[in-house]
A and B are shown apart, each in its own frame.
Chain A
Amino acid sequence: GAVVSQHPSWVICKSGTSVKIECRSLDFQATTMFWYRQFPKQSLMLMATSNEGSKATYEQGVEKDKFLINHASLTLSTLTVTSAHPEDSSFYICSARRPGGELFFGEGSRLTVL
């Protein structure tokens, strides 16, 4: 079964609203999680590295005030898309590495902003 779970798997929202996506590691503690964004028929682009207990590290070009990342516990990271607009519509994927082991991906969250 999945060891990294994302919720919701899909969400539709109105322009201007905020949307929160959760990423949970189910059976291990992850001090670091990664958030990726994937546009249709394109590759995964790293948005930010989420660090437990500290601020996220954002990739160049990613607006930290737009995409709020919180890593409140060793098993949960959240990505909040604030004041979402249609251009924010995308597939968002998180990943986390089991200590000393394999990297697991969440199932992904499809965001559609109307």
Chain B
Amino acid sequence: AQTVTQSQPEMSVQEAETVTLSCTYDTSESDYYLFWYKQPPSRQMILVIRQEAYKQQNATENRFSVNFQKAAKSFSLKISDSQLGDAAMYFCAYRSAMSGNTPLVFGKGTRLSVIA
């Protein structure tokens, strides 16, 4: 079974600074997807960024980028120019590509605080 590990329960960052959230995963599969989700106090899950394992290029979405190291099974999220609205729980997630309807497997999450 696949597992996702987020080793940082809490992180904080100064507004306008950069922060990196760590995520490692364990799988024997070669084709899969990785995600970072944001869960603000409203509890609505919001997709931040996704990465296809077959792509070597790291995904980027505006201020959010990932460092995907397939051999190391590492998938960290970098948030640049942090804003107060970035404060939330961040979950790293894995999904097998074996079929079109496999569920997401989540890490335990990292609570990010942004200091004004």
Chain A interface residues toward B at CB < 8 A: 31-32, 34, 38, 42-46, 49, 91, 93, 95, 97, 99-100, 102-103, 105, 107-108, 110
How many residues from B make CB contacts under 8 Å with A? 16
State whether the Cβ of B36 lies closer than 8 Å to any Cβ in chain A: no
**Beta-carbon contact of A46 and B44 below 8 Å:** no
Question: B35 — nearest CB in chain A belongs to which residue?
Answer: A103
A43/B45 contact (C-beta < 8 A), A97-B100, A97-B101, A100-B100 known: no
Distance, CA A103 to CA B97, complexed state (A): 13
Q: How far is the CA of A28 from the CA of B107 in the complex (A)?
A: 28
Instruction: Tell me whether A108 and B44 are in contact (CB under 8 A).
Output: yes
**Which one of A38, A46, A97 lies within 8 Å of B105 (CB-CB)?**
A46
Q: Are B107 and A103 in contact (CB under 8 A)?
A: no
The distance in angstroms between the C-alpha atoms of A94 and B33, with both chains bound, is 19
Which residues of chain B have C-beta atoms less than 8 A from A44's C-beta? 45, 91, 104, 106
Set of chain B residues within 8 Å of A107, measured between Cβ atoms:
42-44
Nearest-neighbor residue (CB-CB) of A51 within chain B: B101
Sort A-B residue pairs by CB-CB distance and give the 5 closest, nearest first: A105-B45, A32-B101, A43-B108, A43-B106, A108-B43
Residues of A within 8 A of B44 (CB): 105, 107-108
A34 contacts B103, CB within 8 Å? Answer: yes
User: In the complex, what residues of A have CB within 8 A of residue B45's CB?
Assistant: 44, 93, 95, 105, 108
User: Are A95 and B43 in contact, with the CB atoms below 8 A?
Assistant: no
| Separation of A61 and B73 alpha carbons in the complex (Å) | 28
CA A5 to CA B92, docked complex, whole Å: 23
**Which residues of chain A are near B107, meaning CB under 8 Å?**
43
- Chain B residues near A93 (CB-CB < 8 A): 43, 45
Q: Which of B67-116 contact A (CB under 8 A)?
A: 91, 95, 100-101, 103-109
Q: Is B16 an interface residue (CB 8 A)?
A: no
Give the Cβ gap from B69 to chain A, nearest Cβ, in Å: 22
> Which residues of B are found within 8 Å of A38, using beta-carbon distances?
43
CA distance A93 to B44 in the complex (A): 9
